[in-house]
Amino acid sequence: MASNIEAPVLNPQGGSIVAGTIVYNTVTAGVTPNDVIPGFYYWDGTKWLLLTNQNTSTPTNWSILGNNNTNPNTNFIGTTNANDFVTRTNNVERLRVTSAGNLGIGTSSPTSTLDVNGNLRIRNIPVTTSSTQILTSDSNGNIGTFNTHLLSDVDGVVASNPVNYSIAAPGIVNNLNLGLSTNISLPANKNCIIIINYSVPIGISNFPKQEVVGYYGVRFLKNGTEAEAGSRKSTIVNNYETAPLNGSTANMATITNTYIEKLTTGASPVNITYSLNGYIEYYSSFNSNFLFNMWSSSPPNYNWGRATITKQVYIL
């Protein structure tokens, strides 16, 4: 038995079966696409059709218990004209797909590809370090993105001990390791802004009653090479004639700076180390003990504080 032949059904009046004849088939037989299964069929004049709204002998009606062997290219739930497609629960419209393709949840007239009228919750959002766009919403709920540099990394280091250096003859010391550095890793193919701030107390612990001549400061290094825009040096401040404290007007001063660098990375990630070196340019001939980072590690230095270096990295 097959859907494309009349047999075994016969016309009791003789001749061909009349179009519209309805029978109930009890067997499963035939080969696709002319196979048949149990169910009511009617004869359309050339073949038996299962009583569905499709012109095929197979059961193409959607089952409330699920379906198999569906073809996404031909099988679908929806409309074949310019009418909207609506789903309901409790006989209340919950979702609408307009004929123009806009999907509305909680609205019967969506104006965007996805239009949600109600509370929105997104769970299990992945954490990423490579995205540089912020999701925004205007007063009407329209979603967009804001493309700007985003804070990628922030950190700081506080000096734990003073760094002492004694000098008794004219000379220059420019590589005094202060133990203050920060590492930065930049991803490939990004526009980056780096901001480094540092504050370093510097002084002389044993000012003699003579004028100390020279300079002190901080050399700012990028991967071991001085970046002059980040270095700061100052004239040694003292007045041996009038100072009340063993000839000095100030035992400590503070050197500060904000270093800003803008760069665009290439095809490979970039790693940068910024570090601080103490600097002394001395023109006197008597012994002076220079202090960097703080006056003393104990007790705490709340008058002059402790040296710090901080970083902020923004990536677009």
Return the pLDDT at 131. Answer: 66
Boundary of a domain, candidates 117, 147, 177: 147
Same domain, 297 and 269: yes
Tell whether 179 is covered by a domain: yes
Tell whether 40 is covered by a domain: yes
Same domain, 172 and 283: yes
**Span 127-147, average pLDDT:** 79
Boundary of a domain, candidates 147, 169, 191: 147
Same domain, 4 and 96: no
Same domain, 198 and 289: yes
The percent of residues in the chain predicted with pLDDT above 70, rounded, is 88
| pLDDT at residue 247 is higher than 50 | no
Same domain, 221 and 163: yes
Tell whether 19 is covered by a domain: yes
- Give the range among 43-47, 50-54, 130-134, 247-251 with minimum mean pLDDT: 247-251
Same domain, 234 and 115: no
Query: Which residues share a beta bridge with 201?
Result: 254
Tell whether 80 is covered by a domain: no
Give the number of C-alpha atoms closer than 13 A to the C-alpha of residue 284, restricted to the C-beta side.
19
Query: Which residues share a beta bridge with 124?
Result: none
Alpha-carbon span 270 to 166, nearest angstrom: 38
- Give the range among 105-119, 180-194, 225-239, 270-284 with minimum mean pLDDT: 225-239
**Span 177-198, average pLDDT:** 96
Same domain, 166 and 237: yes
What is the DSSP secondary structure assignment for residue 57, as one 8-state letter?
Answer: S
Tokens matching residue 124: 């299990």
Tell whether 72 is covered by a domain: no
| pLDDT at residue 210 is higher than 50 | yes
Tell whether 13 is covered by a domain: yes
The domain of 215 spans 153-315
Same domain, 114 and 39: no
Number of domains in the chain: 3
Tell whether 68 is covered by a domain: no
pTM: 0.63
- Give the range among 58-67, 127-136, 274-283 with minimum mean pLDDT: 58-67
What CATH code is carried by the domain that includes residue 283?
2.60.120
Same domain, 218 and 311: yes
Return the pLDDT at 248. Answer: 45
Boundary of a domain, candidates 147, 178, 198: 147
Same domain, 57 and 93: no
Return the pLDDT at 162. Answer: 92
What is the DSSP secondary structure assignment for residue 64, as one 8-state letter?
Answer: T
Strand segments (E) across 53-123: 85-89, 92-97, 103-105, 114-116
**Span 42-59, average pLDDT:** 72
Return the pLDDT at 260. Answer: 98
Contacts of 19 (CB under 8 A, 6+ apart): 43, 44, 45
Calculate the CA dihedral of residues 167, 168, 174, 180 and round it to 10 degrees. Answer: 10
